[in-house]
Every structure is written in structure tokens, then in C-alpha cells.
Chain A
Amino acid sequence: MIFFVKIIKVKGVLMVNRKDLENYIKNIPPAPDILKRTIEQVQKQELKKAGDIAKQDIILLKYMQNLINKPIYGFKNKITDITQIFTILGADLIYELLHHYLLSLLSPKKWHIFNLNESSFNELQANLSFYWGKVLEYEKIKDKEVLSAISLVPSAIIVCDELFQNSIQELDILSDSSIIDYEFLLYRLTKVHLKRLSIKIGKYWEYPKKSLDIIEASSKTTKITDSQTIRLGQWIHLILFYVLSKPIFINTNLNSFIKFDIDYIQPIYGDFENALGEYF
């Protein structure tokens, strides 16, 4: 790891600095008004009203149709009507999916560091959402504030791609001789943890505190002491690597974007097969 710093210094240019980071945060767009209003109605369990508002945003409509018809959700017939989508999925899952949509607004048009595109990014979101749902079912948790936590996970991937997009050459040299751990790299360069960036984005978009705490607990932390939040954080960590091990993501470069901490997930790993059941 000292090697990283050496190379960066030899080249005389920092790949990413604190200022880049601050600029990036400053330029995060606010949540669209239609989306905010839809979320408000979902929180009130007014799914029909929520559907009617959502219909006004054609991109949101397309996003929801596309996501829900992915094979992982297993619907036999294509569902296109937004009201039907909202009714079938229920308030909790819709609340989570609306947050996935919010995150997708941040995703780049063209990916630079990770071999992703709009479709594979949506696939990633769908996979995370699906397995998170299975885990919460297993843990008997029905809380939309917990459900929405998973939607913040890809924000770290988006941030990395944006911040490091001008350093592809340097990263390529580094990747010949070291595993690139973007979390470590970002911290060495800016003293900011990747998950703190996700939390910052979450706060800006008014994610519930529970979601932000779970993200904080998605890797080893001393800031969270509540055992259930830590357990959920461990699940998020494991699900992320389970999904990133899928063939579609192996060669996206995502498999190494952060370090998989096997020790951290040990307390829940024994339950993993049971939690996923036939989907393991």
C-alpha cells in the first residue's frame, strides 16, 4: 500500500484531492420534486396517489417498469402500469425502489473506471434490492427505513468512478502490481472514508437516519453500538460481495473496488444460506 503513495508522489500529481471531493458533493443535484412528492405519498401509504404523481415523470416511470420486470423479481407477465406496480409491490418496497431511482440519477452517462452501463447498473441495483429483501424477510424486519439503506450502497461506486475518471492511466499502472482498493486509495488521498461520502449523499437527500446508520455499519466501525444495526450492516457487506461475485459483475472491475472483510461478516455468514434459501 505504501507503493500507491510512492507512485502518486513520484508523478507529482495527486489523483484526487479534497477539493475535487468537495466540488463533487457541492454539485450533487437535489432530489426531483415529483420524486419527493411520490415518496411523501408512499410514506402515508397512499399508493394510488403516489402512482399518479410518479406518472408525471416519464424517466421515473420507465425506470420502475424496467427494474420491476428484471428476471430476478420473477414476474411472469410484464407489468407496465405504474399504479399496478405500486399496488403489487407495496409501500415498503416502493419506498426502497424510489430511492434506487434517486441514486440512479447520480450515475454517470458514461462509466470510466468500472465496466458498467445503464442496464448493468440497474441490474446491480435490482440484485442488491432482491437479496436485501430476502435477508430482511429472514430477519423478520418490515421497516421501509431499513429497506431503503441498500439503495445507498451503489453511491460509493458512482463516486469512485466520477472522482477517479481522470486517473485511468495511473490506476492501470498501479493495478499491474497491487490490488486497487478504492476505499483505501480515497482515504489516503483525501482522509475521507468512502462510506462517509455515501452517508453525506444520503443526508443531502434526506435518507432516514436508520438507513444512514446501517451504511455506517456496513464495514467495521466504532460509531455504531446498536447490535441490530451492526448485524444489518454486516448483511449489507456480505450481500454486496455476493452480488459482485455474479458472472455479470466479475469483469466490471467492481469485484475489487473495496476490500471484502471476511472477519466482519463471520457472525452472520452461518445464516446466509438459510436467508437466501433457494436463491443461494
Chain B
Amino acid sequence: MKPILRKRIATFYPQGFIDTTNAYFIITDDEIRKLIPKDIRMVLISLKRVVFFNINGITILLENMKKVQEQKKSLIIGFCDYNSMQYETIRRFYEKNIYFSLYTTFKIATLFTTPSVAQESILVWNENYEQRNLQSIELFERGYNPIVAHRKRDFLEHLKREGAYDDIVKDTYIGSIGTVPFARVSGSSIIYTLTGYLDASIDNQFDYAYHKKAIRTGFKLFIFDMKNIISMNVKVINFFERLILDLKEFEGTICVVNLKEVSTLEKIKIELENIGVQIFPTLDTLLNDKALLSDLGGIIKEDHTQGKTVTKELIHHLPSFINATVSTLEMMLGVTAVKAGKITIKNLEVDSKETQKLASSIGFYGDIEGIIILVFPFALAKKSCSMMIGEDINNLAEVLDSLAEFVNVIAGRVKTHLTDQDLGVSITLPRTYSSVDELLSTLSLNKGVQVDLNFNQEPFTFFLTI
């Protein structure tokens, strides 16, 4: 089937039914070959005239779109022109592993590929705040004026204002933010949630490169939540044995929680304990016991890059990092960043005597490697995070939690910038610190590029190192 090329988007318009029998014929190898040399930013399948699809049909289409993406790294793939039911169905098919994008209409997709002509007002709503913020930042960067609704009721209120918005972005999803879908961070520990039946195939489900980078970024406690595991066989013992070995020199700990109390798993449970895996009945038992948590997840020093300094290549891509950070903050705070002082290569220098400062770090690895560190005054962090979530945040724990998400959004955008330049990177989960001292004692930081900025007189520090 021939795609339509408009606004740097190649769109296929199948009609009727999509299933295993016909999906291969919608995007043929011949069409894939023809698309590769074209100047396109997206390949989409329009579902406007599709009355039926199943997961196999959709998966085949995605696999074929991925073949184009493999040759054009920054290419976005996905679907457009769907109704609410189709949107929910696709999201249900792939649950948390949506690596592609979803745009309610072709016109909405074009907002993410073409610059604004007249600063059009775009109302943005998504239940997931990371998504709604990412979408609004993407729009902001293209010159649109995004208005983010942070609650469903606010969105419905906005809708009543007829003609107030040029477009409405809802039921839209931007894929490949860059996080590992099965992992999340809690304090200084990483929680992995695995699903299905665990056997030797666990190696395919688990991202070792990500895990190793997380260890090097300073994480020490890794919790495997087994609540979604139907069953497992003895092959998982080898998997955990390998993880324990990797962690040995870093004095880290592997814990397993929510393991089903069934007789078939009893032997595996004993084996796991024998190799050093700590088992707890529930996640809460572990997370709520602060003393135990502290024992299991003490602070370790990063030492893999001792003595190294930022590379030329990293400096070459510095504008990508700065732009992603600054535009995200400008968008959230509604103020322009003002540079304070020169950009220099030095050890991180932050004056935190007078005001409480929070910090956050996130690592990236792949074609280039490094760590981004952001240092915020408490008030600025609180304001940014409140804007992102759409609710007032008051206590430190809430700010730190949201800050992690905030940095994640920035890192996701850096990843997109780098992909545009044909650099493939993955990012680790963000880590937050309640003080600069905690940051410095956790990470043995090398010299890096420091950029000091002011947002409405509030100082902010960006630091990029390896």
C-alpha cells in the first residue's frame, strides 16, 4: 500500500480490517525500501477507516514500521486518527511497553513535526503527568502556546471555553521517553517489576546494560517485585546468581518481594535465599521499615570513572543537553532563563550554605556516556514540580519524588535530541538528593561542564560529567 507523504509524515491509510492475514501487505518490503531515503520524521498508520484490528495485526505493522526506524534513528512511528475505544485498546495491548506514539488525528501529529506559525494555543490533557508535560514541552519548543490541564475536571472546564484553543491534544501518547518500563525508583533503591512466566527467557526481558549503569550511578538496593509473575522455573536461579556476582564489589543487595506462597515455588525460594537473595513478603514490608532499608541500601561511591573528565564529544553535544533542560524549565516556570557567569569545566561548585538545595542525577549510556546533575534551590524545585503535577507540593519527600520524574522528562528529551543526531543512548532512572552534601558523598564526581542559570533570581546549576 502506498503511503501519503505530507508535512514530513508518511501515513498509511488502510481501510476495513487489520489482522495477521493482511497486515504484511499494508507496509510491504518495497514500501519500506522506498521510505528510507525520504525526508520524513514520522511513519504513521491512520485508523480512521479501520473498523477492526487485533494485536497480531498491529504488532506486524509496528514491526514493519520499525524496519524503517532502524535505518532512520530519529524516526517516530505510531498510529493516528483513532477513536477513544481504539486508543484504549492499543494501550491495553501493550500496557506499559508503548514504544511508539499515538496521535488522535493526523493534524495533532503535525503539531509535533512542524513549527508553529502564530503561537497557536493548544490545550493539553493526559492522565499521566509525565506524558502531559512531555507533550507540552514538545509543543512549546515548536513555538506553540500549550495550556496544560492537570486534572480531568480542569480539562472539562477548559473545554467549555469555545474557540479558546486552536487545537486540543488528548488521548495522545509520545513513545520512547527513554525510561525502562519495568523499573522505577524509590529513594535510593530500584524496583523492577517483571511479568508473566519466568524461565531462561528472563534474559530477554531484563536490560542488563541499564542495570549495570544504575549500579554505577550509585544505586545499591535492587528490589524485584514478583506480583505479576504467574510462575517460574529453576532457570531464574542462574539469573539472580549473576546479578549477585555483579553487585558483589559494590556491596549491593538483591531483594525479592511478593513471591507467591505456593508449594511449587518453595524449592526456588530456598535456592534464592542460599545464593544471597533476600526475600520479603511484600514491598511495603521492606519500604516501610526505614532502618532495614538503610541497612540494605547504604550509600556507595561511584568509582568507575575516577580521574576522567568530560570528553570532547560530550562537550560537542552540550547544547542539546542545555536546550532540553532550559526549555523544560522555562516551560514549567513560565520565565526565561538568564545565564549567570561563564560556562566552565571544573568540579561542581554550589553555594548551599544560605538556602536549602536539592539535587538530582540521571545517567545515560550508549554511543556517548555521562551523568546529568541538576541542582535546584528548594523553592524552585517545589515550584517546578508543582507545575508539572498540577498540585501543590509541600513536603520534601514529595518534592524529591516529583523531581525524579522531572529529571526523567529532561533526560527523555535529551535522548530525543541525541537520536536526531544519530546517537543512540539509553537513560537510567533518575536519582534525587535532599542536599548537595548527599549528592557529593554519593557520587565521586569528576570535573564536568558547569552552567549556572537564574530563573527569576533563583539560581540553578546544570552539571554534565562522566
Answer whether A and B are interacting partners: yes
Interface residues of B in 1-56 (CB under 8 A from A): 1-2, 4-6, 13-18, 21-22, 24-26, 28, 49-51
Interface residues of A in 165-212 (CB under 8 A from B): 175-179
For the complex, what is the distance from the CA of A113 to the CA of B432, rounded to whole Å?
Answer: 62
Q: For B22, list chain A residues within 8 Å (CB).
A: 245-247, 250
Assess the B51–A251 pair: CB atoms within 8 A.
Answer: no
Q: For A260, list chain B residues within 8 Å (CB).
A: 15-16, 49, 51
Known: A177-B6, A262-B51, A265-B51. A245 touches B1 (CB 8 A): no
Known: A250-B22, A262-B49. A244 touches B16 (CB 8 A): yes
Closest to B18 in A: A245
Closest to B19 in A: A245
For the complex, what is the distance from the CA of A242 to the CA of B49, rounded to whole Å?
Answer: 12
Q: For A246, list chain B residues within 8 Å (CB).
A: 21-22
For the complex, what is the distance from the CA of A259 to the CA of B48, rounded to whole Å?
Answer: 10
> Whole-angstrom distance from the CB of B278 to the nearest CB of chain A?
51
Interface residue tally on A, bucketed by range: 20 to 34
Q: For A251, list chain B residues within 8 Å (CB).
A: 1, 25, 28
For the complex, what is the distance from the CA of A256 to the CA of B14, rounded to whole Å?
Answer: 8
Which residue, of B6, B15, B26, B51, has the highest number of chain A Cβ atoms within 10 A?
A: B15
Assess the A176–B25 pair: CB atoms within 8 A.
Answer: no
For the complex, what is the distance from the CA of A238 to the CA of B17, rounded to whole Å?
Answer: 10
Q: Determine if A4 is an interface residue (Cβ-Cβ < 8 Å).
A: no
Q: Determine if A255 is an interface residue (Cβ-Cβ < 8 Å).
A: yes
Q: For B1, list chain A residues within 8 Å (CB).
A: 250-251, 255
Scoring A residues 17 to 58 as 1 if CB is less than 8 Å from chain B, else 0, what string do you get?
A: 000000000000000000000000000000000000000000
For the complex, what is the distance from the CA of A174 to the CA of B5, rounded to whole Å?
Answer: 11
Q: For B17, list chain A residues within 8 Å (CB).
A: 241-242, 245
CB < 8 Å: which of B15, B25, B28, B50 contacts A256? B15
Q: For A178, list chain B residues within 8 Å (CB).
A: 4
Scoring A residues 235 to 265 as 1 if CB is less than 8 Å from chain B, else 0, what string do you get?
A: 0001001101111001100011001101001
CB < 8 Å: which of A176, A177, A242 contacts B16? A242
Q: Determine if A130 is an interface residue (Cβ-Cβ < 8 Å).
A: no
For the complex, what is the distance from the CA of A246 to the CA of B2, rounded to whole Å?
Answer: 16
> Whole-angstrom distance from the CB of B428 to the nearest CB of chain A?
43
Closest to B21 in A: A247
Q: For A179, list chain B residues within 8 Å (CB).
A: 4, 13
Q: Determine if A111 is an interface residue (Cβ-Cβ < 8 Å).
A: no
Assess the A250–B25 pair: CB atoms within 8 A.
Answer: yes
Q: For A175, list chain B residues within 8 Å (CB).
A: 2, 4
Assess the A245–B16 pair: CB atoms within 8 A.
Answer: yes
CB < 8 Å: which of B5, B13, B25, B50 contacts A247? B25
For the complex, what is the distance from the CA of A275 to the CA of B21, rounded to whole Å?
Answer: 20
For the complex, what is the distance from the CA of A269 to the CA of B25, rounded to whole Å?
Answer: 24
Q: For A177, list chain B residues within 8 Å (CB).
A: 4-6
CB < 8 Å: which of B15, B21, B24, B25 contacts A241? B15
Q: For B14, list chain A residues within 8 Å (CB).
A: 245, 250, 255
For the complex, what is the distance from the CA of A279 to the CA of B26, rounded to whole Å?
Answer: 22
For the complex, what is the distance from the CA of A212 to the CA of B26, rounded to whole Å?
Answer: 33
> Whole-angstrom distance from the CB of A149 to the nearest CB of chain B?
20
> Whole-angstrom distance from the CB of A88 to the nearest CB of chain B?
29
Assess the A176–B4 pair: CB atoms within 8 A.
Answer: yes
Assess the B26–A250 pair: CB atoms within 8 A.
Answer: yes
CB < 8 Å: which of B4, B15, B28, B50 contacts A244? B15
Which residue, of B4, B16, B49, has the highest number of chain A Cβ atoms within 10 A?
A: B16
> Whole-angstrom distance from the CB of A183 to the nearest CB of chain B?
13
Q: For B25, list chain A residues within 8 Å (CB).
A: 247, 250-251
For the complex, what is the distance from the CA of A260 to the CA of B47, rounded to whole Å?
Answer: 11
Q: For A259, list chain B residues within 8 Å (CB).
A: 15, 49
> Whole-angstrom distance from the CB of B337 to the nearest CB of chain A?
40
For the complex, what is the distance from the CA of A12 to the CA of B22, rounded to whole Å?
Answer: 39
> Whole-angstrom distance from the CB of B29 to the nearest CB of chain A?
12
Q: For B28, list chain A residues within 8 Å (CB).
A: 251
Assess the B6–A255 pair: CB atoms within 8 A.
Answer: no
> Whole-angstrom distance from the CB of A251 to the nearest CB of chain B?
6
For the complex, what is the distance from the CA of A245 to the CA of B4, rounded to whole Å?
Answer: 19
Q: For B50, list chain A residues within 8 Å (CB).
A: 262
> Whole-angstrom distance from the CB of A224 to the nearest CB of chain B?
22
CB < 8 Å: which of A176, A244, A255, A269 contacts B5? A176
Q: For A238, list chain B residues within 8 Å (CB).
A: 51
> Whole-angstrom distance from the CB of B2 to the nearest CB of chain A?
6
For the complex, what is the distance from the CA of A98 to the CA of B202, rounded to whole Å?
Answer: 60
Closest to B30 in A: A251
Q: For A242, list chain B residues within 8 Å (CB).
A: 16-17
For the complex, what is the distance from the CA of A241 to the CA of B48, rounded to whole Å?
Answer: 14
For the complex, what is the distance from the CA of A260 to the CA of B25, rounded to whole Å?
Answer: 19
For the complex, what is the distance from the CA of A241 to the CA of B16, rounded to whole Å?
Answer: 5
Known: A255-B16, A260-B15. A241 touches B4 (CB 8 A): no
For the complex, what is the distance from the CA of A245 to the CA of B13, rounded to whole Å?
Answer: 12
For the complex, what is the distance from the CA of A175 to the CA of B28, rounded to whole Å?
Answer: 17
Q: For B4, list chain A residues within 8 Å (CB).
A: 175-179
Q: For A241, list chain B residues within 8 Å (CB).
A: 15-17, 51
> Whole-angstrom distance from the CB of B39 to the nearest CB of chain A?
13
> Whole-angstrom distance from the CB of B38 to the nearest CB of chain A?
11
Q: For B5, list chain A residues within 8 Å (CB).
A: 176-177
Assess the A269–B51 pair: CB atoms within 8 A.
Answer: yes
> Whole-angstrom distance from the CB of B152 to the nearest CB of chain A?
27
> What are 16 A-B contacts with C-beta separation under 8 Å?
A175-B4, A176-B2, A177-B6, A178-B4, A179-B4, A179-B13, A241-B51, A244-B15, A245-B17, A246-B21, A246-B22, A247-B24, A251-B28, A260-B49, A260-B51, A262-B51
Since A245-B14, A259-B15, A262-B49 are in contact, a sample of 18 more A-B pairs with Cβ atoms closer than 8 Å, ordered by chain A residue number, is A176-B5, A177-B5, A177-B6, A179-B4, A238-B51, A241-B17, A244-B15, A245-B22, A247-B21, A250-B14, A251-B25, A255-B16, A259-B49, A260-B15, A260-B16, A260-B51, A262-B51, A265-B51
Please give me the 6 A-B residue pairs with the lowest Cβ-Cβ distance, nearest first: A245-B16, A241-B16, A250-B25, A245-B17, A260-B15, A260-B49
